Structure 1
């Protein structure tokens, strides 16, 4: 089994306890480490991505710039930069601003049971999305985003709706 399929399992205190195969972890709802990245431009707009339509959960929903899992053999810093480049085609300096955990069961009998590390960064250059991961992207004004989330909450991922308020609080 490749290291790409093995993600880091943690306890409730985010202490590393082993690794599990990614698909199995999500089927069984095993607690694991994740990260979410929020990239802003110099205008204060947030870079959103629309998840690819064939994703195993939350397909075609808008979410934060990038999110994923720490793999076997890499630390959290390496994982965040790897995934930002893989999904969005650029790298940026990142700052961790908070952590939270959540557990949700999706209709497809899949679970996200995560201890999520949230990072912010800045980028003003080109974005080159990976079409296997991302359907489309857009830069959004935070006031317009808040309004859209309230009017159309089903357009957005569960974890994004849980974390965006605290990210905005931190920014301002």
Structure 2
């Protein structure tokens, strides 16, 4: 009687392809550290106010050196986005502000097409980051709040405004 155990035959690089897919899964496929929120036109201010904390040694410039307006993308954050913002309609203009008590924070926002990047650093003389931009199509945005230095933990409030 022959051996009745089933045999596993892996042809070519099948296993290697699966491993490469799992390892290369981008940060965009993950959930957010501090949750998901949805905004509709005319949203109340409380709906656009969230909190979290920075931390991590993932360089945001690894995602993009510069944003769509050629602003530098800098800072360090967790590889997972901190927040996921879902815009239920197109917004002509949005302003996102970080308040960490004036600490040196940064922002990176990845748009629904996964290629449009918006980055923010200091707001005037304040070291907290902000982004004030036009033309926000409806869809899912991934938001990373970083710090200028790697591994620094700062509590913050993120405020999204419709000016």
TM-score normalised to structure 2 length: 0.24
Larger radius of gyration: 2
Higher helix share: 1
